[in-house]
Amino acid sequence: MSTARTQCEAVTQAGERCRLPARPGSRYCHIHQRAAAAETPSAPVSAPAETAPPQPAVEPEPEARPPLLTFSAEEVLAYLRDKAQVLPEELRDFVLKGIDEIEESGWLDADTWRGIGYVLQVAAQTQLDMLKRRLRGEYEVDAWGYDPEFTDYILPLAGFFFNKYWRVEMNGLDHIPVEGRALMVANHSGILPLDGAMISYGVREYHPAHRLVRALVADWFPTLPFFSLLLTRTGQVLAHPDNGRRLLEQEELVLVFPEGYKGVGKHFRDRYKLARFGRGGFVRMAIEARAPIIPVSVVGAEETYPLLYNLKPLARLLGFPYFPITPTFPWLGPLGLIPLPTKWFIDIGEPIDTSQYDSELAANPAFVSDITDLVRTKVQEQIDGRLARRKSVFSG
């Protein structure tokens, strides 16, 4: 824990106690110390009894700037540990264990956060440079709005989350074809579509063909601030069977999340229990396009934003599918939006060949339901297998 500093004794113009810390050896902060000195009347000057010897010139010390934060990371964790005592037993144990592992992981090291700051600074500068060029009209997009240059600019930030923050392990990349159409089907979780971003980044960077993943995103996500531009420019497309079918016919690699909103808005107690896979629209899409179905499981995203409660009245008022209450949001304000640094695993299973099926079977509800259940079972088995091998939420 950091040493507590004395609070400034000055009173602001609003009549409230100043919240800045007092400077060492003073009762006031750096602002009010100068004000107090200016208001102090000068003492009468008397003739010195004897001439003092000349003193060497001393350069004034640089004025100390007020700290940006008046609390340390350790104090934040202590605060969270104290507040966790009121949570249900299962969730309380989860939060306390996570805090202990964060303290032991080195995430509180100053060099780590300096590195994070550097990454964010570089990302901001590159986006500024890109913005200047775009104002001059120097960019190109494809028919779906995909912008390769924009994607390249944000890759370092995605790479930071993939490699450093969530330390994602991706297995089974050899099950994705080097070229040609394929439909990836994954479980959805984590309140925000961060799982899709990590799957896309992993395939783009570590697959031998560095393929672009075209995720079909629900229509609500593009309404969030900045998400519409981000999703479109990185190659994602609005979820609709026609869009998916056209992408597959163009030999694209398509990613779908059949759970939809039920997956990302899942309660913490229901984590890693797959919701219903819709009505099998993705199966009809794959059969009609004769595209293999590749089951994908994501473990680790469920704990990035542990959903304690869905405030449905407020969600309806705002037009959201859910309004999450988590251990950190809205209690910590904007800080509560920071996802927890859990350890992620993305497992890609063997493809299910659909070229053997007649396209007319896509109109058979019973057959579509059977294939849907088969895919859902495979994804759930991959999740269960990974959970059985996982020892820790934060270290894997």
Kindly write down the DSSP assignment for every residue of 323-378, as one continuous string: -EE-SSTTTTGGGGGSPP----EEEE---B--TTS-GGGGG-HHHHHHHHHHHHHH
Token look-up 């407020």 returns: 314
Q: What is the pTM of this model?
A: 0.65
| pLDDT attached to residue 43 | 45
Confidence at residue 306, expressed as pLDDT on a 0 to 100 scale: 82
What is the Cα gyration radius of the chain?
28
pLDDT of residue 75: 74
Nearest to 176 by CA among 214, 143, 141, 216: 214
Please tell me the distance from the alpha carbon of residue 61 to that of residue 202, in angstroms, as a whole number. Answer: 51
Phi and psi based region of residue 352 (left: phi greater than 0; alpha: psi -120 to 50; beta: remaining): beta
Pairing mode, if any, of strands 213-217 and 253-256?
parallel
Write down the H helix ranges in 136-260: 148-160, 194-206, 227-233, 241-249
φ/ψ of 142, rounded to 5, equals -90, -170
Residue 255: the pLDDT is 97
Given a contact cutoff of 8 angstroms between Cβ atoms, the answer to whether 176 and 203 are in contact is yes
Residue written as tokens 């109109």?
Answer: 363
pLDDT computed for residue 265 by the predictor? 64
* In the chain, alpha helices (H): 30-39, 73-83, 89-105, 110-135, 148-160, 194-206, 227-233, 241-249, 261-264, 281-289, 312-318, 365-389
Q: Hey, where are the domains in the chain?
A: 143-304+339-389
* Backbone CA torsion sign across 229, 235, 241, 245: positive
Whether the CB-CB separation of 312 and 318 falls below 8 Å is answered with no
Low-confidence ranges of the chain (pLDDT < 50): 1-3, 42-49, 65-69
Determine phi and psi for 185, rounding to 5 degrees: -120, 120
- How do strand 237-238 and strand 309-310 relate by DSSP bridges? unpaired
- Beta-sheet pairing, 169-171 with 345-348: parallel
CA distance to 120, 126, 135, 229, 349, per residue, from 132 (Å): 19, 10, 5, 17, 43
CATH of segment(s) 143-304+339-389: 3.40.1130.10
